């Protein structure tokens, strides 16, 4: 692998987020994230070229991405909890829920609004074909996960949810209380 400056904060973030992961797992995630940042691409071949030894890096990335022990939901929840743990102890906490669509890929996103910025808190991707007659169910499930798991330590009185009018149904909002 070629030498690159390795940001200490990224290593600290990964260690905090994955406190129970093995060192080689943390290093693989670190290298993967550094490659994503440097190359601005999710293409495995591009990331493998960035690592230097293309064949070895391509195999390593493939093993990491297809590792059944890598629980994506657990990683996403750990990320959300770490972000929430850095919130101030007082004041309002605004959470924006919205869909982003590109082609047939639909992404449901919950973001913390901090000043004029949105910090991704949690997200779930769906293919368009999965959404027929299930979109509202997926939204309720997603909101429940965000508010019950990620925002569990934030007093409900502090939370403000911003979403489009389709999410203003009583069944949906009940999960945010």
Q: What are phi and psi of 152, to 5 degrees?
A: -60, -35
CB atoms under 10 Å from CB of 130, counted, come to 12
> 159-162 and 93-102: which strand pairing?
parallel
Closest CA to 33 of 69, 4, 66: 4
Residue 88, pLDDT above cutoff 70: yes
- Decide if 80 contacts 146 (C-beta within 8 A): yes
Which of 1-5, 50-54, 114-118 shows the lowest per-residue confidence on average (mean pLDDT)? 1-5
What pLDDT is stored for residue 171 in this prediction? 52
- What secondary structure, in 3-state letters, does 108-126 show? EEEEEEECCEEEEEEEEEE
Instruction: Please give the model's pTM, rounded to 2 decimal places.
Output: 0.67
CATH 3.10.20 fits domain 88-176: yes
CA angle 155, 160, 161 (to 5 degrees): 120
More confident residue, 72 or 176: 72
Domain boundaries, the chain: 8-70, 88-176
> How high is the pLDDT of residue 112?
92
Alpha-carbon distance 97 to 167, whole Å? Answer: 9
């Amino acid at each position: 692998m070629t030498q690159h400056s390795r940001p200490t904060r990224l290593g600290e973030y990964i260690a905090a987020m994955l406190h129970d992961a093995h060192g080689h797992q943390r290093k693989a995630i670190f290298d993967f994230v550094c490659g994503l940042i440097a190359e601005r691409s999710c293409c495995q071949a591009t990331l493998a070229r960035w690592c230097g030894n293309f064949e070895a890096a391509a195999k390593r990335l493939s093993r990491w991405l297809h590792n059944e022990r890598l629980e994506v939901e657990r990683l996403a929840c750990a990320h959300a909890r770490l972000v929430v743990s850095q919130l101030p102890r007082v004041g309002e906490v605004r959470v924006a829920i919205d869909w982003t669509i590109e082609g047939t890929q639909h992404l449901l996103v919950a973001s913390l609004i901090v000043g004029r910025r949105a910090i991704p808190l949690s997200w779930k991707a769906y293919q368009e074909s999965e959404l027929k007659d299930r979109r509202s169910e997926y939204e309720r499930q997603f909101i429940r996960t965000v508010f019950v798991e990620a925002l569990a330590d934030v007093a409900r009185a502090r939370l403000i949810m911003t979403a489009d009018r389709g999410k203003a149904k009583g069944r949906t909002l009940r999960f945010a209380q």
